[in-house]
Amino acid sequence: MKVLVTGATGFIGEQYVRHLVDTRPDVKVFFCGRNLERGNSLSAATGAHYFRGDLQDEPYVKLICKDMDVIVHCAGKTGLWGDYLDYYQANVVTTENLLAAAPHTGVQRFINLGTPSVYFDYNDHLNVTEDFLPARFADHYARTKYQAETRVMRAHSEQLKTLSLRPRFVVGPGDQSIFPRLIQSHRRGRLMQIGEGRNIVSMTGISNMMLGLDCAVFGPDEVCGDVYNLADPQPVNLWDSINRIMPLVELPPVTRKAAYGVADGVAAVAEFAHRMLRRSGEPELMRYKVAVMGNSFTLNIERAKRKLGYDPLPSIDDTLDSFACWWIQQNG
C-alpha cells in the first residue's frame, strides 16, 4: 500500500508519517508540506519520500497522487485572523485539486482532516454530535474547512471512498500550538483563568489521534462516506489540565483570574483597535480565545466508536506528562 500524507510538516501530519513508518512496514509512505526544513528533516529521519511543491498547483497535485492508494489530507490554513480568500485557497482549493486528481491517478481512499471548529459559536456545548451546526460559522477557518468537507463527502463513490475526521484539541509531544502558546503566555505573565475554572473540554491525545487515522485508513469500506468526531474517551477540566502542565515545565500554576464578561469586553476592544490600526497578524487577545478558554466544549464520539471502530484509551495524564518532557528537551 502507498499512502500520501499532506500537510506533514504540521503537528498531526508529521506524527502520522512517523507512526506509519514505525508501525506499518508494509506501507510505503510519501508526504508533502510547506516547511522545507521540517520536510527534509522528516524525510531524513523516517526514509519517507518528501514531495516539495504547492497543493494549489494542479500539475504538481496530479504528480504526487499518481499510483497512491490512500491520501490522508492534513494540509490547510489554520488560525483565527486573515482574509477569506487566503483560507479558501488553502483549505478549499487544495482539497478540490486533490479530489479531482484522485480518481485518475489510482487513489482509492481519501481521508480528510476536518475540525470541530465548525460547531463553535461562542457558547457552552456538551456532547456535540456530528449533525450539529451553528447558525453561522465563527470565522473563515471554520467556514472554509466545512466547505472543503462538503466537497469530500460529495466525492464519495464506488471508485473513491472518502471520509472526514473532526478531532478536538489534539495534544502531545510535537504540539507547536496549544500548550506551547499557553506556556509562552504564562511566562510573559499574561495568562489568566477565564471565569470560574469549571469548564470541561474534550481533548485528543496524539496516540488516540493516530488510532483514529489508522481506523480511517485501514478500516473496511463501510467506514467511509461519513464524518466522525474524535476525542479521548472522557472530557477533562481545562484549567486543571493547564495547571498540571505548568509545574512540569517549571512554571507556577495559573492563579490570576478574569471574569468572563470582562475578558470578553476587553477582547472586543482589542480586536477593534487591531483592525483600525491595520496591524498584521492576529491580536493576542480575541473574543474567540476568551470563549475557548472560558466555555465548556465536549464531543460525542459514539459514531466513531460504533462505526469506525475507534476505541480510544484514557491517556490524557500520560499525554501531558510526555508533552512536558518533550517540551523541556526542545527548549532546554
Chain-centroid distance of CA 251 in Å reads: 26
Say which of 141, 146, 228, 310 is annotated catalytic.
Answer: 141
**Adjacent-strand bridge partners of 93:** none
The residues, ordered by sequence, that sit 6+ positions from 64 with a Cβ below 8 Å of its Cβ are: 4, 30, 32, 51, 53
**Adjacent-strand bridge partners of 49:** 30
Judge contact between 90 and 148, C-beta under 8 A: no
Chain-centroid distance of CA 94 in Å reads: 17
- Cα separation, 303 vs 228, whole angstroms: 7
- Cα separation, 298 vs 203, whole angstroms: 8
- Cα separation, 24 vs 38, whole angstroms: 22
Nine cell digits for residue 256: 490570576
User: Would residue 141 show up in a list of annotated catalytic residues for this protein?
Assistant: yes
- Sign for the CA dihedral angle at 322, 323, 324, 326 comes to positive
- Cα separation, 234 vs 28, whole angstroms: 34
Judge contact between 94 and 32, C-beta under 8 A: no
Residues known to be catalytic: 141
